[in-house]
A = this chain, B = another copy of it.
């Protein structure tokens, strides 16, 4: 998801100081541009100019526009993941698994609505980059297991996540389907799967 190297990797030396400073400059600049002019205005040239560095540096740090967008998305995603892992129930731990799962769906849909344009911009060649959904799959899979759902849980988890993906949610909204219908149908779908064991 993130382009930044792990904090403790024995094989790779820590980032040079100018590189680290430029990453911060670039992320700040990109964030500012998103807030001010929207995601579409975040061109690699604009980010470079706003940060006061060369364009090559942007690509060196983030690899691609999608990579930069992923890095921007990561801030929000990490906070959200925190709420899922250790926030208050029913999204966080402490509630029955089914309640958590349904709360997860609602919360995830919410995030898709809020950050949908960033998600679209962060998507690579085809849609999702599988690493990006790793957390989502792991969590749903875990809850399904707690609910004694049998089957190929990794694939099943991804199949349940697919309808909440930005690629399906946004077109439906544009076609007049409400947020509420999408959520209700997802809830319905999950209930059927869980009830069927």
Q: Which residues of A contact B (CB under 8 A)?
A: 120, 123, 125-130, 151-152, 154-156, 158-159, 162-163, 165-168, 170-172, 174-175, 177, 181-182, 184-186, 188-189, 191-193, 195-196
A192, B165: Cα distance in complex, Å: 21
Do A155 and B185 form a contact, CB below 8 Å, given A127-B168, A168-B128? yes
Q: Is the CB of B156 within 8 A of A185?
A: yes
Q: Nearest 6 CB-CB pairs, A to B? A: A127-B167, A162-B162, A159-B163, A192-B196, A155-B185, A130-B171
Residues of B within 8 A of A128 (CB): 167-168, 171
> What are 17 A-B contacts defined by CB distance under 8 Å?
A126-B167, A127-B166, A128-B171, A130-B172, A151-B185, A154-B177, A155-B172, A156-B185, A156-B189, A158-B168, A159-B162, A159-B168, A162-B162, A191-B196, A192-B192, A192-B195, A195-B196
How many chain copies?
A: 2
Q: Is the CB of B162 within 8 A of A163?
A: yes
A192 nearest CB neighbor, chain B only: B196
Q: Out of B129, B162, B168, B189, name the residue touching A193 (CB < 8 Å).
A: B189
Residues of B within 8 A of A193 (CB): 189, 192-193
Do A184 and B120 form a contact, CB below 8 Å, given A126-B167, A162-B162, A195-B196? no
Residues of B within 8 A of A163 (CB): 158-159, 162
A171 nearest CB neighbor, chain B only: B130
Residues of B within 8 A of A186 (CB): 159
Residues of B within 8 A of A167 (CB): 126-128, 165, 167
